[in-house]
Structure 1
Amino acid sequence: MIDAGSAGSRLHVYRFRQCASVDPVQLKDEALFVQTIPGLSSYTPELAGPSLDPLLEQALETIPIHSHKKTPMAIRATAGLRLLGQEQSEKVLDAVYDHIYARYPFPIIGGRQGGVTIMDGKDEGVYAWITVNFLLGHLKSKDIPTAAVFDLGGASTQIVFEPDPSDQNIMEEGDHKYTLTYDNRQYVLYQHSYLGYGLMEARKRMHRRILQLAEQVKPDLHVTHPCLPRNLEFSFPKNDPSPEAKFIGQGLHDACTDIVKDILNKNAICMAPPCSFDGIHQPLIAEAFAEEGPIYIFSYFYDRTHPLGLPPSFKLPELGRLTEKVCSGEYLDSLPDGDLRDEMLDRPEWCLDLAFIYGLLSHGYEIPDHREIKMAKKIDGVETGWCLGAAIALLDEADLEQNV
């Protein structure tokens, strides 16, 4: 399974055991996980296919030769290609399919139209939900509460959870209501994918909003920025022919948090209450998701907080305090010389990233302060995210015996 994300492409090779189609799928291990940057959306169609060669060459080495033609594969692109627009993204996917079909022995299940596709945001979230709950063993018994999952990519963020049965009956109808059948059991899930609220897109939104607010007061190429380190000069390209803007960092936590709340658009009209942010209907976590149900976050949620020492299990006030220390400069001042200090000096958007992550979880999704949140890059040695769930769905949906 190739995850063609907005920031990079990642290849997963899984080994499963399933003796008959009626048997449940058993995961033996994740035999290979490799990645490359940037993502397919950064390439012309001619270069998109070859950009995956470093991944697929390692797959050739990992998978035994006698299994090459029996190993099904699929490529699922996410929000990065969705943002390109249909015409350009289809050209990229056509070129990727032609390149892989001509050079590699792995059968692409579903051909070009079914096997090399842009994944719908709702499937991205639900597959991530399957991955986490499959690895936790929470799909084996009705007596075990399933986990809620929150994913943060570069261009989009997803939420998926199974509301309490009483809340399922009053959940508004719409794309957010997802009925999943897995292993002869039906799950009624709430899901939503927010395109444009991934971490990289959120950075752009916040920079542009700060520019917009400044220009309403006094047009100036030098703009103070509460989410950047104090006195840092930072250039940001504008979307018009004007010269790029020059930001001067202030390192103000509260003012940065206000910008996060602003872009989350909590005041948007809510046509189907209750709503989370941007006017999107969502059952309240505090009321609709069982207290004993675990909450898992991953992807950029993990990547931007784990290096700073946030523990794998925490509550939002802990993240809030860490964000304050980073924004004020106290965290960096306390660091000895070393790799983390060098990385923080090289990436000036740490305060912005943490403020957005905290604001998204607390003010956006409204996770209560007292709820425990678990961070995981891997569970039992297997990467979290949607890829395993999509691979399991591939086994369920495809007649592999005919295809391979």
Structure 2
Amino acid sequence: MGSMSDERESSAASAPVLPEHVHLSPTTHETRMGYLSPNSLEMRNSRTAVYRRVSLLLLMAAVHYFLVSDWRRRPGWQPDGAPIRGSAGIRKVGEVCHVDATGKEERIRNRHAIIFDAGSTGSRVHVYEFQFCGSKLNVLVDEVFEEVKPGLSHYHADPLQAAKSLKPLLDSAVARVPPDTRKCTPLVVKATAGLRLLPEYSVTGILQNVREFIKTHPFLLGDGKLSHSEAVAVMDGSEEGVFAWVTVNFLQDKLRPGFTSMPFLPDETSVVMDLGGGSTQIVFAIARDGYADIDPLKHPQYYYRLALHGNQVDLYQQSYLGYGLMEARKNIKLAHIQKMLADSSDGRALRFPCYTKGHKEDVDKSGKMFALTGDSSGWDACLNVVRPVFRKEDPCLVHPCSFNGIHQPAIRTKNLIAFSYFFDRLIPL
């Protein structure tokens, strides 16, 4: 299982020799988005600036803000108009891009949106620059990304310091957004599994301090309609997965303004799998006529009906809190310590078959430190340690199930996008 420390930097910088079926494009960014093809196990970075830097959580929120939220119903929004894409690409600001039947001209303009992704291992800011033709989304022009570590949850005992940890990120946003548009540039902060795992009183203190700290900076907290408590909040696990699905499929041109003119084909969209530090998400579209034995509306804990550009899209979604890479590692070690203590009373060293022989690590269990020592017992011994944590024997109340008694229907699409730690862990293979 290795160390519980965040290993993204070491894996990104190690530059391993890759097998022929694994392809990576050059990038200067630390975290990369990978594509996993089930047929060829092909992994590659994106070829455009949109994909270059994806911790990915919250381009999803920016896309949701511009494409899904109430903002789209403001005057001038044309939900059925096709975006200016393809050969048109990025246009010159101020250029006439459309003339309606009355002769009214619409011009190219750029807008920014600032998204803070407060993850379990670090906080990141994404400053997105979008281009519009009038009020119609054209293209994502650019993204600025910065990250600080540790994440907000690290400061659970000092909420003011949690807020101050975001200062370098806010400074980067100020430097990027033109002074004359800062006051109307929306900013939201969405926290994920790191804060979902904390007690409510700790979360409340951190979020309140973050809100007050951001108010000292020249941005629009929220979008003018969101309350400040909504603009700085913990994202529900289902939202996290759904926004990721929207983002990935939007970037693949499978969702776009105007796609109401075409039939929506769920099997042509991509499954999204996000392995974070504290939780794991899986989301995919389902065809209503293909799951006759399942009524999504009767199982809202598993299904999400998304209204997008006039379409109703049924998504299967599940967020496995506690099954992110770091949290799962911790839980596996703690479960093993508990079992070893129950099986032994002679005080011998606690051996851990998932470590290499001789590797040692101190693990905190309820304020008491235990030393785990690797003994190289092999794959089967390690699997026997890991398997109970996934509770495959739990009752399945809504068939079929994956683990922990969690319902999951069959995946029928051939397109699978796996990112975050899925990508990082597969690079050295």
Give the alignment's TM-score, normalised by structure 2.
Answer: 0.66
- The DSSP-based 3-state class of the residue aligned with 1:49 is helix
Matching residue of 1:48: 162
Partner residue in 1 for 2:249: 133
Aligned to 1:373: none
SS at match of 1:67: helix
CA distance in 2 between counterparts of 1:261 and 1:248 reads 18
Residue 355 of structure 2, aligned match among 223, 228, 234: 228
For residue 215 of structure 1, what is the amino acid of its counterpart?
A: L
More helix by share: 1
Quote the offset at 1:235 in angstroms: 1.6
1:118-129 alignment runs, 5 A limit: 118-129=234-245
Whether 1:248 and 2:362 are equivalent positions in the alignment is: no
Partner of 1:75: 189
1:5-404 to structure 2, matched below 5 A, reads: 5-19=119-133, 23=136, 25-43=137-155, 44-109=158-223, 110-139=226-255, 140=259, 141=262, 142-143=264-265, 145-172=268-295, 173-219=299-345, 220=347, 222-240=349-367, 242-250=368-376, 252-285=378-411, 289-290=412-413, 293-306=414-427, 308-309=428-429
Cα offset for 1:221?
5.1
Distance 2:308 2:377 in 1: 48
In 1, the alpha carbon distance for the partners of 2:309 and 2:127 equals 22
Deviations 1:79-106 (A, max 9, x none): 1111112221011111000011023334
Q: Which moved more, 1:3-12 or 1:231-240?
A: 231-240
SS in 2 for 1:247: strand
| Distance across 1 between alignment mates of 2:142 and 2:352 | 43
Tell me if structure 2 keeps the 8 A contact 1:235–1:245.
yes
CA separation of 1:105 and 1:165: change in aligned 2, threshold 3 A: closer
Q: State which drifts further: 181-190 or 27-36.
A: 27-36
Q: Which amino acid aligns with 1:114?
A: E
Distance 1:176 1:18, change over 3 A: farther
> 8 Å contact 1:236–1:247 — kept in the other structure?
no
Hey, what's the Cα distance between the residues in 1 that align with 2:404 and 2:335? 15
- Tell me how far apart the structure 1 counterparts of residues 369 and 209 of structure 2 sit (CA, whole Å): 36
**Structure 2 Cα separation of the partners of residues 181 and 95 of structure 1:** 34
CA distance in structure 1 between the partners assigned to 2:365 and 2:273 by the alignment: 31
Structure 1: distance between partners of 2:290 and 2:387: 27
Relative to structure 1, the CA distance from residue 272 to residue 302 in structure 2 (aligned partners, 3 Å threshold; closer, same or farther) is same
CA apart distance, 1:212: 2.3
**Computing the radius of gyration over CA atoms, which structure comes out larger, 1 or 2?**
2
Whole-angstrom distance in 2 between the partners of 1:299 and 1:251: 30
Q: Does the CA-based 8 Å contact 1:151-1:298 persist in structure 2?
A: yes
Name the stretch that deviates more: 138-147 or 112-121. Answer: 138-147
Q: Distance in 2 between matches of 1:125 and 1:169?
A: 24
Pairwise CA distance, 1:39: 0.6
Say which SS state the counterpart of residue 166 (structure 2) adopts: helix
Amino acid at match of 1:41: S
Deviation at 1:147, TM superposition (A): 0.2
- How far the C-alpha of 1:263 sits from its partner, in A, is 0.9
**Runs (5+) with no aligned partner, structure 1:** 310-404
Give me the whole-angstrom Cα distance separating, in 2, the residues matched to 1:133 and 1:251.
43
Provide the rounded CA distance (Å) in 2 between the counterparts of 1:299 and 1:32.
18
124-133 or 255-264: which moved more? Answer: 255-264
SS state at 2:190 partner: strand
- Evaluate the alpha carbon distance shift between residue 146 and residue 51 of structure 1 in structure 2; reply closer, same or farther with a 3 A threshold: same
Note closer, same or farther for the CA distance 1:231–1:107 as it changes in structure 2 (3 Å cut): closer
Give the secondary-structure state (helix, strand or coil) at the position aligned to 1:281: coil
Q: For structure 1, which segment, 186-195 or 137-146, has the greater mean C-alpha deviation from structure 2 after superposition?
A: 137-146
Aligned length: 300
Question: What letter corresponds to residue 286 of structure 2 in structure 1?
Answer: P
Q: Distance in 2 between matches of 1:107 and 1:269?
A: 44
- Cα distance change of structure 1 residues 19 and 86 upon mapping to structure 2, 3 Å threshold: farther
Secondary structure of 1:280's counterpart equals coil
Q: Partners of 1:243 and 1:88 in 2: how far apart?
A: 24
Instruction: Check whether the contact 1:222–1:248 (CA below 8 A) recurs between aligned residues.
Output: no
> Structure 1 87/20 Cα, relative in aligned 2: closer, same or farther at 3 Å?
farther
Q: 1:249 and 1:131 mapped to 2: Cα distance?
A: 43
Choose 203-212 or 246-255, whichever is displaced more: 246-255
In the alignment, is the contact (CA less than 8 A) between 2:221 and 2:231 conserved in 1?
no
What is the alpha-carbon distance in structure 2 between the residues aligned to residue 249 and residue 74 of structure 1? Answer: 47
**CA RMSD, Structure 1 to Structure 2 (Å):** 1.9
In 1, the alpha carbon distance for the partners of 2:289 and 2:279 equals: 29
With the length of structure 1 as denominator, give the TM-score of the two structures. 0.70
